[in-house]
Amino acid sequence: MKKLVAIGGVVIVLLVAIILLTNMSNKDKLKSVDNPYGDKKLQQPTIDLLQDENYQNITLPEDLKAKIDSGEEVNAYFFSPTCTHCRALTPKLMPILEDKGIEVNQINLLEYDEWDTYNITATPTFIHFDGGAEVERFEGNLPEEELEAFLTPYAKK
């Protein structure tokens, strides 16, 4: 019985240590980057992406709405850090956007519930807006050739 209590105590101490180390690591991550989410309490998958170069164009929902309402051309990429298709598409998509000079606003659907606002049914979703209205969209993890074809009309370079 004493052995069982000792083992249980060790397990509890290890779990507490893991929690403390994770919290310290998260605080370091939040301090070491320019947090685009402001002071919002972030979920762990979002914290894990803060330093990922493919997720550096984060836009807050109110800023995206203002851009769309202004009538300017706007590209929005809706993703979730927990979506395997998003994690596969984003590293293909971002270099293509950069090569074509296309600006994109990334909206994290794990942190902001914008599904109904933009009629999002799946992630990832990329929407091109112009004149305050949706012009075109794609959903899912497209092959590079299809991404190129979809994005070419919006190229700035």
Kindly report, residue by residue over 90-133, the tens digit of the pLDDT: 999 999 999 999 999 999 999 999 999 999 999 999 999 999 99
Domain residue limits, the chain: 1-32, 49-154
pLDDT of residue 18: 67
Q: H helices within 70-155, ranges in order?
A: 84-100, 144-151
* Angle between helix 84-100 and 144-151 (nearest 10): 50
Model pLDDT for residues 58-79, shown as the tens digit of each residue: 999 999 999 999 999 999 999 9
Q: State which of 45-49, 113-117, 152-156 shows the largest mean pLDDT.
A: 113-117
Residue 46: how many CB atoms within 10 A of its CB? 20
The residues near 43 (Cβ < 8 Å, ≥ 6 apart) are 81, 110, 111
CATH number of 49-154: 3.40.30.10
